[in-house]
């Protein structure tokens, strides 16, 4: 029997969502040409299918969007939920070394492939 590639056999999904930072009273918040600080966060959720995973990821994302007073000037600011950017089923039980995501890259020169790699200590922010 063929397995549906969109269904996780272990019940876990990895998903990413996009949040945009705004000053609540800024009139340019909906200007398509304006630049905004954004975060793309990646989470895992336990779900029966992609739709349930979507709903759970959306709920998690929206929990981070309450307005608050930011900075020394207490300016009203907010993270705005823009949407979900990706959802993928996890195909293996979660443990050290489990593959949860992969991405394919177009053919790239070796020198450029090597520029993509970071070494120990380069991941510290």
pLDDT digits (tens, 9 = 90+) for 34-45: 999 999 999 999
Paired strand residues for 12: 46
Paired strand residues for 1: none
- pLDDT at res. 83: 96
* CA distance linking residue 18 with residue 43, whole number of Å: 12
Between 124 and 79, the more confident residue is: 79
2 pLDDT above the threshold of 80: no
> Taking the domains of the chain in order of start, what are their residue ranges?
12-116
Paired strand residues for 16: 42, 86
In tens, the pLDDT along 62-91 reads: 998 999 999 999 999 999 999 999 999 999
Average the pLDDT over each of 43-52, 87-96, 99-108 and give the range with the smallest value. Answer: 99-108
125 pLDDT above the threshold of 90: no
- pLDDT at res. 37: 96
């Amino acid at each position: 029997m063929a397995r549906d590639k969109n269904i996780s056999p272990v019940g876990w999904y990895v998903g990413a969502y996009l949040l945009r930072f705004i000053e609540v009273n800024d009139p340019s918040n909906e200007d398509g040409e304006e630049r905004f600080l954004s975060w793309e966060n990646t989470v895992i959720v336990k779900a029966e299918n992609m739709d349930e995973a979507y709903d759970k990821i959306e709920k998690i994302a929206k929990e981070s969007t309450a307005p608050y007073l930011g900075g020394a000037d207490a300016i009203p600011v907010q993270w705005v939920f823009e949407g979900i950017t990706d959802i993928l089923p996890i195909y293996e039980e979660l443990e050290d070394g489990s593959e949860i995501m992969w991405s394919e890259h177009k053919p790239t020169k070796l020198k450029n492939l090597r520029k993509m790699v970071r070494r120990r200590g380069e991941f510290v922010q």
